[in-house]
A and B are shown apart, each in its own frame.
Chain A
Amino acid sequence: MAKFYTGRDGRLLMDGSEQVKVTNWSLTGNLEVLETTTLGDSQRSYTPGVQEFSGAASLLYYNDDANRNDAATALKNVLKISGVGINDTVDMRLRLVEGNTNHDIRLTAYITTATYGASVGEVSSAQISFQGTGALTEASI
Chain B
Amino acid sequence: MGVYLGNVGNIELIRKSLEGTKESLVNPSDVNASRDRFSFDFDEGYLITGDLIEIKTTDGTDLDFIDESGYAFSGLRTQNGDVLITQSADILGVYSGPTESGMWYIFVDELGGIRLYDNFDDSLEGSTAGLIPLSAIDRDIPISVEVKNRGGRLLGCIREYEINTNREVVDITVLSDQHRQQYSSLISGSGRLVAEWDYLKEDGSEPVNYLMQLVLRTEIGSSFRGKFYIKSAGTSAAGGAFSGTQVNDSLWWEFDAIVTGSAVSFAPSELIEGSIEFVATGPIRLKAKTTASRRLLQEAGDPILLEQSGQLLLEGDEAP
Q: State the A residues within 8 Å of B (CB).
A: 7-12, 20-25, 60, 97, 120-123
Q: In the assembled complex, which residues on chain A have CB atoms less than 8 Å from the CB atom of B177?
A: 7-8
> Which B residues between 166 and 222 are near A, CB-CB below 8 angstroms?
168, 170, 172-178, 183, 185-186
Chain A nearest Cβ from B123, distance in angstroms: 40
Task: Give the nearest-CB partner of B186 in chain A.
Answer: A121
Task: Please state if A121 and B185 are interface contacts (CB–CB under 8 Å).
Answer: yes
Task: Give the nearest-CB partner of A7 in chain B.
Answer: B175
Task: Give the nearest-CB partner of B178 in chain A.
Answer: A8
* Alpha-carbon distance A121/B170, docked complex (angstroms): 7
Which of A7, A97, A120 has the most chain B CB atoms inside 10 A of its CB?
A7
Decide: A12 near B175, CB < 8 A? Known: A121-B168, A123-B170: yes
30 A-B pairs whose Cβ atoms sit less than 8 Å apart in the complex: A7-B173, A7-B175, A7-B176, A8-B175, A8-B176, A8-B177, A8-B178, A10-B175, A10-B176, A11-B175, A12-B175, A21-B172, A21-B174, A22-B174, A22-B175, A23-B173, A23-B174, A23-B175, A24-B175, A25-B175, A60-B172, A60-B174, A97-B176, A121-B168, A121-B170, A121-B185, A121-B186, A122-B170, A123-B172, A123-B183
> Known contacts A20-B174, A122-B170; can you find 4 more A-B pairs with CB under 8 A?
A10-B176, A11-B176, A12-B175, A22-B174
Chain A nearest Cβ from B280, distance in angstroms: 16
Q: In the assembled complex, which residues on chain B have CB atoms less than 8 Å from the CB atom of A120?
A: 186
Chain A nearest Cβ from B174, distance in angstroms: 5
* Alpha-carbon distance A97/B176, docked complex (angstroms): 9
Q: In the assembled complex, which residues on chain A have CB atoms less than 8 Å from the CB atom of B172?
A: 21, 60, 123
* Residue tally, chain B, CB below 8 Å to A: 12
Q: In the assembled complex, which residues on chain A have CB atoms less than 8 Å from the CB atom of B173?
A: 7, 23
Chain B nearest Cβ from A104, distance in angstroms: 14
Q: State the B residues within 8 Å of A (CB).
A: 168, 170, 172-178, 183, 185-186
Task: Give the nearest-CB partner of B168 in chain A.
Answer: A121
Chain A nearest Cβ from B35, distance in angstroms: 51
* Alpha-carbon distance A23/B173, docked complex (angstroms): 7
Q: In the assembled complex, which residues on chain A have CB atoms less than 8 Å from the CB atom of B186?
A: 120-121
Chain B nearest Cβ from A7, distance in angstroms: 5
Which of B168, B170, B176, B178 has the most chain A CB atoms inside 10 A of its CB?
B176
Which of B174, B183, B186 has the most chain A CB atoms inside 10 A of its CB?
B174
Q: In the assembled complex, which residues on chain B have CB atoms less than 8 Å from the CB atom of A60?
A: 172, 174
Chain B nearest Cβ from A89, distance in angstroms: 23
Task: Give the nearest-CB partner of B179 in chain A.
Answer: A8
* Alpha-carbon distance A12/B175, docked complex (angstroms): 9
Q: In the assembled complex, which residues on chain B have CB atoms less than 8 Å from the CB atom of A9?
A: 176
Closest 7 CB pairs of A and B: A10-B175, A22-B175, A21-B174, A123-B170, A121-B186, A7-B175, A121-B185
Task: Give the nearest-CB partner of A25 in chain B.
Answer: B175
Chain A nearest Cβ from B268, distance in angstroms: 47
Q: In the assembled complex, which residues on chain B have CB atoms less than 8 Å from the CB atom of A12?
A: 175
* Alpha-carbon distance A97/B177, docked complex (angstroms): 12
Task: Give the nearest-CB partner of A21 in chain B.
Answer: B174
Q: In the assembled complex, which residues on chain B have CB atoms less than 8 Å from the CB atom of A122?
A: 170, 185
* Alpha-carbon distance A25/B174, docked complex (angstroms): 11
* Alpha-carbon distance A138/B168, docked complex (angstroms): 43
Q: In the assembled complex, which residues on chain B have CB atoms less than 8 Å from the CB atom of A21?
A: 172, 174
Task: Give the nearest-CB partner of B170 in chain A.
Answer: A123
* Alpha-carbon distance A119/B173, docked complex (angstroms): 18
Q: In the assembled complex, which residues on chain B have CB atoms less than 8 Å from the CB atom of A22?
A: 174-175
* Alpha-carbon distance A91/B55, docked complex (angstroms): 69
* Alpha-carbon distance A111/B177, docked complex (angstroms): 25
Chain A nearest Cβ from B71, distance in angstroms: 46
Chain A nearest Cβ from B224, distance in angstroms: 24
